[in-house]
Amino acid sequence: MNGQQCAHEELAVGWAMHSLEPDEEALARDHVPTCPTCQSTVQATQEVLAGIGGAVRQEQPPPHLRARLLEQIEHTPREIAHRSPR
């Protein structure tokens, strides 16, 4: 089964974001290495954080968004050409 839950998931998120109190941090340091659920939570959180940081500087939109934009661009001139007879 996937989708395992852990009571310390919030701790793992805080750990990944370096936003824990010292006592929580000590708890996370003990727990996260022993818990696959929290390890994947830490990884997912770090990926999201990296995505937020990278999105600002990223010049190329994600592939699905790019495909949508291209589709829109392709459709728009045709409609205009259709509407204006001359």
- Residues forming contacts to Zn ion in the complex (CB under 5 A) are 6, 8, 35, 37-38
Q: Is 27 exposed, middle or buried (0-12, 13-18, 19+ CB in 10 A)?
A: middle
- In the bound state with Zn ion, the residue whose beta carbon lies nearer, of 34 and 60, is 34
Q: Is the dihedral of CA 38, 44, 45, 47 positive or negative?
A: positive
Cβ at position 13, least distance to Zn ion in Å: 11
- In the bound state with Zn ion, the residue whose beta carbon lies nearer, of 46 and 76, is 46
Cβ at position 27, least distance to Zn ion in Å: 10
- In the bound state with Zn ion, the residue whose beta carbon lies nearer, of 4 and 76, is 4
- Whole-number Å distance between alpha carbons of 78 and 7: 55
Cβ at position 22, least distance to Zn ion in Å: 19
> Using DSSP, how many helices (H) and how many strands (E) does the chain show?
4, 0
